[in-house]
């Protein structure tokens, strides 16, 4: 099952390698997109946003995290797929046709449904989830540590990279793994 690519119910052959590859490829693409975006959102919400914006934006992100996966999937199939086919796939085909190795990635009809679009849709689905977890983890950092770093003349980025991230490293990794689990599932 794990090493065969043949799926033929008539011959009673069931190979799951293609499905496993597709799941891993789309979840890796989703994580490559979602982790930096989620980090930026969480950083903005905890360190940079004005007080009047923190609560409504945080609530909006938590509401987006509660949207069922099927809703994101149907939106991707019916709305995002055709947009991707028209504005991304067709220009890439004209640009990369005839280029060795890269031309194979954009060959075929531009339908907007594939590994890239699935990865992007999964990224859109897990961004609110990872952002909410990262925001909650960043807020756990003791204010005394951050204020001490600011008092020594550290910039916001230095405080985040040298104080907040080392303090919350395990929580951030946990949030990323939860997002990965949702993307794989």
Task: Note the pLDDT tens digit of each residue in 51-106.
Answer: 899 999 999 999 998 999 999 999 998 999 899 888 988 888 888 888 887 777 67
CB-based contact 73:121 (threshold 8 Å)? yes
pLDDT at 181 over 70: yes
pLDDT digits (tens, 9 = 90+) for 130-174: 999 999 999 999 999 999 999 999 998 999 999 999 999 999 999
- What is the CATH superfamily name and number for domain 7-184? MetI-like (1.10.3720.10)
> How confident is the model at residue 123, as a pLDDT?
95
> How confident is the model at residue 1, as a pLDDT?
61
Instruction: Using CB atoms within 10 Å of the CB of residue 129, give its burial: 0 to 12 exposed, 13 to 18 middle, 19+ buried.
Output: buried
Phi, psi dihedrals of residue 8, rounded to the nearest 5°? -140, 95
> How confident is the model at residue 57, as a pLDDT?
92
Q: Which residues lie closer than 8 Å to 163 by C-beta, 6 or more apart?
A: 141, 145, 146, 149, 154
More confident residue, 127 or 98: 127
Per the rule left: phi > 0, alpha: psi between -120 and 50, beta: everything else, 108 is left
Q: What is the pTM of this model?
A: 0.84
Distance, in Å, from the CA atom of 149 to the CA atom of 144, rounded to the nearest integer, reads 9
Average pLDDT over residues 118-128: 93
Token reading at 59 = 């609530």
> How confident is the model at residue 34, as a pLDDT?
95
């Amino acid at each position: 099952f794990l090493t065969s690519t043949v799926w033929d119910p008539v011959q009673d052959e069931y190979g799951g390698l293609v499905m496993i590859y597709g799941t891993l490829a789309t979840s890796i693409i989703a994580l490559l997109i979602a982790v930096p975006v989620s980090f930026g959102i969480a950083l903005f919400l905890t360190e940079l946003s004005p007080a009047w914006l923190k609560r409504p934006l945080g609530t909006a992100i938590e509401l987006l995290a509660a949207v069922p996966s099927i809703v994101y999937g149907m939106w991707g199939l019916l709305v995002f797929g055709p947009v991707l086919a028209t504005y991304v796939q067709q220009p890439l085909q004209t640009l990369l046709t005839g280029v060795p190795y890269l031309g194979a990635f954009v060959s075929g009809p531009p339908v907007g449904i594939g590994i890239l679009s699935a990865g992007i849709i999964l990224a859109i689905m897990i961004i609110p989830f990872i952002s909410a977890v990262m925001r909650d983890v960043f807020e756990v950092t003791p204010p005394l540590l951050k204020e001490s770093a600011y008092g020594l003349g550290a910039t916001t980025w230095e405080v985040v990279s040298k104080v907040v991230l080392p303090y919350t490293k395990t929580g951030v990794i946990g949030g990323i793994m939860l997002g990965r689990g949702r993307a794989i599932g």
